[in-house]
Amino acid sequence: MTDRAALIIGLLVIGVLLADHFFLHYGIALFVGRKLADFVQYLQFWN
């Protein structure tokens, strides 16, 4: 991945999180955090 593509993707992610926090109030960060915690537990099971 080029630096430019990584920067664009990073800015898009930050933009979506900021839009959710200030305007949408969907709780996207909490949803992603919970799914990440579930995924870590799933990986621990297979370890």
The pLDDT value given to residue 34:
96
The pLDDT value given to residue 11:
97
The pLDDT value given to residue 15:
95
Other CB atoms within 10 A of residue 41 CB: 9
Tell me the per-residue pLDDT of 1-47, one tens digit each, with 9 for 90 and over.
899 999 999 999 999 999 999 999 999 999 999 999 999 999 998 87
The pLDDT value given to residue 46:
80
The string of DSSP letters for 7-46 reads HHHHHHHHHHHHHIIIII---HHHHHHHHHHHHHHHHHHH
pTM above 0.75, yes or no: no
